[in-house]
Structure 1
Amino acid sequence: MQERQMSEEVRNDNPYSRLMALKRMGIVQNYQQIKEFTVLVVGVGGVGSVLCEMLTRCGIGKLIMYDYDKVELANMNRLFFTPQQVGLSKVEAAKQTLLNINPDVVIEAYNENITSGTGFNQLLERMQNGALKGGPVDLILSCVDNYAARMTINSACNELDQVWMESGVSEDAMSAHIQLIIPGETACFACAVPIAVVENNEQQIKREGVCAASLPTTMGITAGFLAQNTLKYLLGFGQTTFLLGYNALADFFQNYAIMPNSECKDPNCLKRQKQD
């Protein structure tokens, strides 16, 4: 199928006309450049799947998705996946749905555990060479729900000097956060665990073997903030958020940046700090 161009023409059969209206209204000067960017998403669950749908509808050029879980009926309390997809890998089910929404988007799907040796090496390779025209991807988005995967992404991004955004929802589904991490300039995940800072309670991080609560509302809100921050970062409009914490019970938001920790345990983080 021939790729459609992003046209500003207002027509009912133009899927990009309302996106390009942002350009006409002076919000984004270069919206059409969205088709040139490649984003790698790790975790295609409650937050990640909705994030990928939003970016697909926004016309992102390429999505690279990683997840090693299958779709289950227990996932139906969230958005995106359907009962007909039960048994499929989440990345393959997501790829099918996303291409039906917008066939212009290039999608790579990897049913792989990034914390394994093979998975980590493949992740590094796609980070370095996965962009549309070759070379490094433009942004990594973490939508995982466990500490080991977050630390793996953190290590990879510190090693390659790769900008990324981290996200998470607490076990009780009543708080969430997103964070922009620039190696050497802001705190990495090993410097300061974002949700522990926001909630002042490190035990709120999801743990293996714990049946955590989940709400499609909290996850959808988190995905929306993460997608919005991604667009602002890639297209250079508005103010990109460094750390946004959200408390659902009080509808309370925190917004600030965390500086790197000079005693961080990640040697590559310390190396980037010295370079900056």
Structure 2
Amino acid sequence: MNRLFFQPHQAGLSKVEAAEHTLRNINPDVSFETHNYNITTLDNFTHFMERLSHGGIAEGKPVDLVLSCVDNFEARMAINAACNELGQVWMESGVSENAVSGHIQLIIPGETACFACAPPLVVATNIDEKTLKREGVCAASLPTTMGVVAGVLVQNVLKYLLKFGSVSYYLGYNAMQDFFPTMAMKANTQCNDRHCRRQQDEYKKREAERPKVEVVQEEEVAVVHEDNEWGIELVSEEANEDTQAAAAAALADLPEGIAAAYTIPVVNTDAGETVEETEQSLDDLMAQMRKL
């Protein structure tokens, strides 16, 4: 947030206010609703859930999608709990503390793994994440990594909302090797979040009630040509038995530890006519051609 949105003249403003001002200048046609509070407290969490369920573009309707760009596990767990309870689809994102890797994750309650289904060690062992940070030491920050992850997140949002391309369920980014691993994680039936387990049961019921679609396998129709004026035939490029035997014999003579990457098929001269070698020069052959 600080590196991507904040501008020097916005000193003194909260991150929420600074982001709204910057984004409103970029696109004044977008409607913004800002709330500068901690969503992990009880009162703020209740208001947060109310805005998710009634803060859509249509009055009183839920939002279409929630994007998480928070920087700590406690806030992520709060968003996860709210979305599981409401059955709200959301996308989680983050950048590692060393600032050279990140990820995005699409979470569909009941269908895919929620944030509590496969929690990081700090969450699974109920360790206070504040104890993992050394006093006076700030995590590394690299705006380029944040920009890449933010761009990938927005691209995934467009594909999901506009229904084109393949939406990524989980997409990582390793800046050191420019590696983008992708995968999909199923919901954990033993998830600690009871609302996640409830959403899983509802999803199974919906899938069971969905009409079965029979897949009809199309039979391959042989192509038949009415005429074949030029006598063109398609033949297999695989070597015949004699050729394979000759190739195997040649490979058997190789020293131990050496393997052939490619073998040249032996030409079978019995199948057709061959041209005998002659002592005629090229000029003689050209002269014969001119007489034809």
Aligned partner (choices 168, 171, 177) of residue 244 of structure 1: 171
**Following the alignment from structure 1 to structure 2, what is the Cα–Cα distance between the partners of residues 240 and 149?**
25
The code of the aligned residue for 1:240 comes to: V
Aligned pairs, how many?
Answer: 193
Aligned partner (choices 88, 112, 128) of residue 13 of structure 2: 88
Between 1:254-263 and 1:206-215, the stretch displaced more is 206-215
CA offset digits 1:160-219 (Å, max 9, x no partner): 0000000011000011000000000000000013x77xxxxxx9x995665100100000
Structure 2 counterparts to residues 12-51 of structure 1, below 5 A: 45=1
The code of the aligned residue for 1:115 comes to: T
The code of the aligned residue for 2:7 comes to: T
**Following the alignment from structure 1 to structure 2, what is the Cα–Cα distance between the partners of residues 121 and 216?**
33
Structure 2 counterparts to residues 60-209 of structure 1, below 5 A: 75=2, 78-134=3-59, 135-193=61-119
Aligned position for 1:265: 192
Conserved? CA contact 2:104–2:149, under 8 Å = yes
Between 1:180-189 and 1:100-109, the stretch displaced more is 100-109
Shift of 1:79: 2.0
**Following the alignment from structure 2 to structure 1, what is the Cα–Cα distance between the partners of residues 179 and 20?**
35
Normalised TM-score (structure 1) = 0.67
3-state SS of paired residue (1:111): coil
Structure 1 runs of 4+ with >4 Å offset:
205-210
Normalised TM-score (structure 2) = 0.63
Shift of 1:228: 0.5
3-state SS of paired residue (2:47): helix
Aligned position for 2:240: none
Conserved? CA contact 2:116–2:191, under 8 Å = yes
**Following the alignment from structure 1 to structure 2, what is the Cα–Cα distance between the partners of residues 79 and 180?**
23
The structure whose Rg is larger is 2
Conserved? CA contact 2:170–2:182, under 8 Å = yes
Aligned position for 1:224: 151
Unaligned 5+ runs, structure 1: 1-44, 46-74, 197-202
**Following the alignment from structure 2 to structure 1, what is the Cα–Cα distance between the partners of residues 97 and 133?**
11
RMSD value over aligned CA atoms? 1.8
**Following the alignment from structure 1 to structure 2, what is the Cα–Cα distance between the partners of residues 154 and 181?**
9
The code of the aligned residue for 2:70 comes to: V
**Following the alignment from structure 1 to structure 2, what is the Cα–Cα distance between the partners of residues 173 and 232?**
26
Higher strand share: 1
Q: Which has the higher contact order (CA 8 A, sep 6+)?
A: 1
Conserved? CA contact 1:146–1:208, under 8 Å = no
Between 1:158-167 and 1:112-121, the stretch displaced more is 112-121
